[in-house]
Structure 1
Amino acid sequence: MPKINGNEIRPGNVLEHDGGLWVVMKVSHVKPGKGGAFAQVEMKNIRDGRKLNERFRSEDRVERVRLDQKDQQFLYESDGMLVFMDNETFEQIELPADLLGERRPFLQDGMVATVEYHGEEPLSVQLPQKVVCKVVETEPVVKGQTAANSYKPAVLDNGVRITVPPFIDAGEDIVVNTETMEYVERA
């Protein structure tokens, strides 16, 4: 299995750590004033659901589990389980909804996502990197507020709160990065 550096860990990666398989839920890179930078990684055990917060320095090497990937269509959610269908065999599988963590609201009906398998067992879901969402609520533009990087809060049609540039109004479609949960561009 390939080893990756601690600063290459991304949400959705599956790592072999402490004798188990862990899916990465959240990563935040920290640069303290003293000492080296590190990645604060929130992981969830695939088998038993335990959570773990771990720090990985950039020089730390971790095992990234190689998984077989299949594009599958999301059908619906039922009792906390997400139902996906293989477009070639029409087989349906169920995965727990909390596997996606805070990225869950970006999964839309009919969306094709990449389901990763370890052998025959489905383990994780990778959403498309960019998703189109509609802004349902945002503050009006304040005249004269044209600072280079001034952003304002907005609520998307899936309930997620992000920040958008001042020229974005309610009702507009925007592209959102599902990994960083940030505004990318107008749709």
Structure 2
Amino acid sequence: MTAYSGNSLKSGIKILIDNDPYEIQYSEFIKPGKGQAFVRIKLKQLITGKLLNRTVKATDIFYSIDIKEIHAVYLYTNKSIWVFMNKENFEHIEVLYKFLNGVDKWLINTSKCKITLWNNSPIAVNINNFIHLRVNNTDIEVQGDTINSSNKLVTVETGAIVRVPLFVKKDDVIKIDTRNGKYISRVFCS
């Protein structure tokens, strides 16, 4: 376990605060004209994914944590347990639903992802920011209703519902931003 003082905290370092794992997203060292130096940090809670802003003394001590990320492939769901396969050694990894952090609506068989392990237990599943999914079903659009609405709702192959432009049809492949669930573009497959 490596110890860090407050003034040595940098982006990407993973530390333990109040017995929870955090990753530093941003840090700013501030030395005021009067008083003690301090550090403003933006943290991401690795289990819940929540962001937290915190101010710490430059002399505070924090300890690193043993976090490991592995590349995996989604296989199947068994009730509240999601099963993934480690791409390196082909072992199966079981992840509880609460650690999916909302990525479950974007997973199809063989979806690539990263699983974060803390003390050899999965605490988070992350997927690419942009994915391609096939449109399974589209809403019936009303002819001439372009004044009120310039887009419609579609269901993609995972079952998620995405708002898309009117020109998107069934069986089109679309690019989606998984961070906010928004349509980016139509993908032309050759």
TM-score range, shorter-chain basis?
A: 0.5 to 0.7
In the alignment, what sits opposite 1:162? Answer: 162
Uncovered stretches (5+) of structure 2, i.e. residues with no partner: 24-44, 57-61
In the alignment, what sits opposite 1:92? Answer: 92
Alpha-carbon contact 2:74-2:113 (below 8 Å) kept: yes
TM-score by length of 1: 0.62
Q: CA deviation at 1:107?
A: 1.0
- Once the two structures are superposed, the pairs formed by residues 44-59 of structure 1 within 5 Å of their partners are 46=47, 56=52
Distance, in Å, in 2 between the alignment partners of 1:171 and 1:65 is 45
- Once the two structures are superposed, the pairs formed by residues 81-160 of structure 1 within 5 Å of their partners are 81-135=81-135, 136-140=137-141, 142-143=143-144, 145=146, 150-160=150-160
Q: CA deviation at 1:85?
A: 1.5
What letter corresponds to residue 172 of structure 1 in structure 2?
D
TM-score by length of 2: 0.61
SS of aligned partner of 2:125: strand
Distance, in Å, in 2 between the alignment partners of 1:108 and 1:55 is 28
Q: CA deviation at 1:167?
A: 1.5
- CA 1:94–1:140: 2 relative to 1, 3 Å: same
**Number of aligned pairs?**
152
Q: CA deviation at 1:74?
A: 1.5
- CA 1:160–1:16: 2 relative to 1, 3 Å: farther
1:115-172: CA deviations, max 9, x gaps? 112242222111122222222122336447279x933222223222221112212332
Uncovered stretches (5+) of structure 1, i.e. residues with no partner: 5-13, 24-42
Q: CA deviation at 1:182?
A: 0.7
Percentage identity across paired residues of the two chains: 20
- CA 1:153–1:170: 2 relative to 1, 3 Å: same
Alpha-carbon contact 2:71-2:88 (below 8 Å) kept: no
SS of aligned partner of 2:102: helix
What letter corresponds to residue 83 of structure 1 in structure 2?
V
Alpha-carbon contact 2:101-2:125 (below 8 Å) kept: no
